Amino acid sequence: MSVYSNITIIHKDGTKIQPVSLNIIGEEPLSIRIDGKPYSVVMRTPGDEISHAAGFCLSEGIADTPEDITALACCDGSDSNVVTVTLTEKQRLKISGYLERRSFISQTSCGLCGKELIQDLTTVIDPVCDDTQFQLSSALTCLEAFSRHQPLRQKTRSTHAALIVDADTSVLSAAEDVGRHNAVDKAIGKLFLDHNLFRAKGLVLSSRISYELVQKAARAGIPIILAVSRPTALAVSLASRLDMTVACLAPETGLYIFCGEQRLIG
Residues taking part in catalysis: 110
Q: How far is 224 from 244, CA to CA, in rounded Å?
A: 6
Strand, coil or helix: 192: helix
Task: Provide DSSP, 110-138.
Answer: -S--HHHHHHHHHHHS--------EEHHH
Phi, psi of 30 (to 5 degrees): -120, 120
In the chain, helix, strand, coil percent, each to 5? 35, 30, 30
How many Cβ atoms from other residues are within 10 Å of residue 140's Cβ?
Answer: 20
Yes or no: say if 200 and 221 are a contact pair by the CB < 8 Å rule.
yes
Q: Which amino acid is at 231?
A: P
DSSP letter, residue 175 = E
Phi then psi dihedrals of residue 107, to 5 deg: -125, 145
Polymer length in residues for the chain: 266
CB 179 within 8 A of CB 239: no
Please give the helix or strand (H or E) that residue 171 lies within, else none. Answer: strand 171-177
